[in-house]
C-alpha cells in the first residue's frame, strides 16, 4: 500500500467526518493532543488505553518530583495550619499521653527483664508511638487489625490490660496465646486484633482476604494492616497490594518506614521514592505522612478509612518515622548506625516530646502531673510483672490442643508419648513452673 494512497484515504475520511458532523450524525467528538502517528489517536489495548507518542522516551524516576509528606505539627510542636488541627478533647489527649508513657515505661522495664533472663525476648516501641496511636484512634474499634510486631500501642489503645500484656510476654497459662507464641505477639478476638505472626509480611494477604469478606458482608467496616519498610520487600506485600487493588477491598496498608528494617538501611533496601511511590503503580490511593506527628497520622488514617469504606478501595499510608530503640533485644543497632545519629533524632524529633510540648502549651500537662503519671504507670507495670511471674505456665500437653477442632489420632499419640517421656525423665525438666499434668 503506497503512502499516497493512505494519505488520500485519511483525507477522504476527514471530509466525510466533517460532513457528518454538520448533519448531526456523530454522537460526540474528542480532541486528542500530542504527536501521535498512529491512524487511531488513542490506544485500545486490553492493558493500556492512553495516548500514543512518537517520542522515544524512558521514564527516569530521579527526574520525577518526590511525593510530599503531610504534616500538621512541626518539630517545635506548632500547628502549621489551624484548619488541620483535629482538636482532640482533653480526655483524648490525656489517654494519648497515658498510653505513650505506658509504652515508654514498658520498653525500659521489659528490656531490663530480658537482660535479667526473666523473659526471652522483647521488641521496643520507642520512636514510633505517634504512628501507632494516631492510627489506632482513627479506626473503628470493630475494624480488624492485622499488626506486624511493633504495634503494642494499638492494642493498648483498644483496651488490652497491662496484666494481659505481661501474661503474654511471660508466656504463662493466662496469656492470650497460652504460651504458644513468642513474646509481644499479642492477639485478642474481643478487641478485633488478629494474633501477630513472626513471619514477615504474612499478615498482609490475610488482611486483604478479611477485607474482601467485610466488603461482601457490607457492614461498613475496614481492615488496617501494619508493616515496615523491611516487610515491603517481601513478595507477600506485592501479592497483597495487587489483590487488594484488583478486588477493590476496604483495606488500609499502613507502612511504618523507620529507616532500618531489622538492620538494613533503606539505602540498601530499595530504590525510588520510598514505599508511597508503589501505591499508584498498583492503582492504590496513597499518602505519605510525618509518622512522628500524632495529628497528621490521625487525620490521614481517618480520611483513608473513609475512602476505603465509601469507595471500597485500598489505601496506602507511608508513615515516615525513626526507630529510636534497637530492633529487638536480639539487636545492637549501633552496629549499623552511629550513637550520634540516634541521639540527634532523640533530641530533635521524638514524637513523645512533640506531643508533650503541645500539651504543655495547652495547659493540660506540667512537670508535676507528668511525674505522677510516670510513677503510677511504672508501678502498674511492675505489679503486673510480679503477678505474671507467679502464674504457672500451661501444662505441656496443651500444645496439642487447638490445632484441630478435635485432636487427631496422630496428635493424641504424640501427646501420650510426651507424657511417658516426662514421667521417665521428669528430673530434667522444670515441671514445677507448669500446671500439673
Side by side, which strands form the sheet with 315-320? 193-194, 144-146, 223-228, 251-257, 315-320, 285-290
d(CA 379, CA 399): 33
d(CA 84, CA 93): 16
- Is 198 an annotated catalytic residue? yes
Check 135, 197, 328, 333 and give the catalytic one.
Answer: 328
Please report, for residues 260, 262, 305, the alpha-carbon distance to residue 201 in angstroms, rounded to integers and kept in the order given: 16, 13, 21
What HEC string does the chain produce? CCHHHHHHHHHHHHHHHHHHHHHCCCCCCCCCCCCCCCCCCECCECCECCECCCCCCCCCHHHCCCCCCECCECCCCCECCHHHCCCCCHHHHHHHHHHHHHHHHHHHHHHHHHHCCCCCCCCCCCCCHHHHHHHHHHCCCCCEEECCCCCHHHHHHHCCCHHHHHHHHHCCCCCCCCCCCCCCCCCECCCCEECCCCCCCCHHHHHHHHHHHHHHHCCCCCEEEEEECCHHHCHHHHHHHHHHHHCCCCEEEEEEECCCCCCCCHHHHCCCCCCCCHHHHHCCEEEEEECCCHHHHHHHHHHHHHHHHHCCCCEEEEEECCCCCCCCCCCCHHHCCCHHHHHHHHHHCCHHHHHHHHHHHHCCCCHHHHHHHHHHHHHHHHHHHHHHHHCCECCHHHHHCCCCCCCCHHHHHHHHHHHHHHHHCHHHCCHHHECCC
- Is 327 an annotated catalytic residue? yes
Check 9, 19, 38, 112 and give the catalytic one.
Answer: 112
Check 38, 161, 198, 408 and give the catalytic one.
Answer: 198
Active site residues: 112, 198, 327-328
Amino acid at each position: 500500500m503506497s503512502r499516497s494512497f493512505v494519505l488520500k484515504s485519511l483525507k477522504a475520511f476527514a471530509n466525510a467526518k466533517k460532513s457528518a458532523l454538520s448533519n448531526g450524525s456523530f454522537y460526540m467528538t474528542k480532541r486528542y493532543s500530542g504527536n501521535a502517528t498512529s491512524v487511531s489517536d488513542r490506544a485500545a489495548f486490553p492493558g493500556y488505553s492512553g495516548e500514543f507518542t512518537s517520542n522515544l522516551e524512558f521514564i527516569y524516576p530521579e527526574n520525577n518530583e518526590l511525593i510530599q509528606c503531610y504534616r500538621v505539627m512541626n518539630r517545635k510542636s506548632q500547628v502549621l495550619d489551624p484548619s488541620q488541627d483535629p482538636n482532640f478533647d482533653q480526655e483524648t489527649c490525656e489517654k494519648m499521653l497515658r498510653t505513650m508513657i505506658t509504652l515508654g515505661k514498658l520498653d525500659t522495664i521489659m528490656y531490663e527483664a530480658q537482660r535479667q533472663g526473666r523473659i526471652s525476648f522483647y521488641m521496643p516501641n520507642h520512636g514510633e508511638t505517634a504512628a501507632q496511636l494516631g492510627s489506632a484512634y482513627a479506626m473503628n474499634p470493630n475494624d480488624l487489625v492485622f499488626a506486624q510486631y511493633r504495634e503494642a500501642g494499638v492494642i493498648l489503645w483498644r483496651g488490652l490490660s497491662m496484666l494481659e500484656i505481661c501474661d503474654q510476654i511471660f508466656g504463662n497459662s493466662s496469656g492470650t496465646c497460652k504460651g504458644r507464641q513468642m513474646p509481644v505477639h499479642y492477639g485478642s478476638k474481643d478487641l478485633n486484633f488478629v494474633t501477630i505472626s513472626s513471619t514477615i509480611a504474612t499478615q498482609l494477604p490475610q488482611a486483604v482476604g478479611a477485607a474482601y469478606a467485610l466488603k461482601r458482608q457490607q457492614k461498613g467496616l475496614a481492615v488496617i494492616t501494619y508493616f515496615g519498610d523491611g516487610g515491603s520487600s517481601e513478595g507477600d506485600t506485592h501479592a497483597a497490594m495487587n489483590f487488594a487493588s484488583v478486588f477493590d477491598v476496604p483495606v488500609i496498608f499502613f507502612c511504618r518506614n523507620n529507616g532500618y528494617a531489622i538492620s538494613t538501611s533503606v539505602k540498601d533496601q530499595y530504590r525510588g521514592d520510598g514505599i508511597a511511590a508503589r501505591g499508584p503503580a498498583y492503582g492504590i490511593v496513597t499518602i505519605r505522612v510525618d509518622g512522628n506527628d500524632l495529628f497528621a497520622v490521625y487525620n490521614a488514617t481517618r480520611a483513608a478509612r473513609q475512602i476505603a469504606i465509601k469507595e471500597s478501595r485500598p489505601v496506602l499510608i507511608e508513615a515516615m518515622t525513626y526507630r529510636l530503640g534497637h530492633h529487638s533485644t536480639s539487636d545492637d543497632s549501633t552496629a549499623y548506625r552511629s550513637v550520634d545519629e540516634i541521639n540527634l533524632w532523640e533530641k530533635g524529633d521524638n514524637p513523645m516530646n512533640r506531643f508533650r510540648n503541645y500539651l504543655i502549651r495547652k495547659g493540660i500537662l506540667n512537670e508535676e502531673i507528668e511525674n505522677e503519671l510516670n510513677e503510677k504507670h511504672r508501678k502498674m507495670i511492675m505489679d503486673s510483672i510480679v503477678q505474671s511471674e507467679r502464674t504457672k505456665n500451661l501444662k505441656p500437653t496443651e500444645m496439642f490442643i487447638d490445632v484441630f477442632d478435635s485432636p487427631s489420632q496422630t496428635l493424641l499419640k504424640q501427646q501420650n508419648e510426651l507424657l511417658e517421656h516426662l514421667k521417665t525423665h521428669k528430673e530434667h525438666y522444670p515441671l514445677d513452673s507448669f500446671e500439673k499434668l
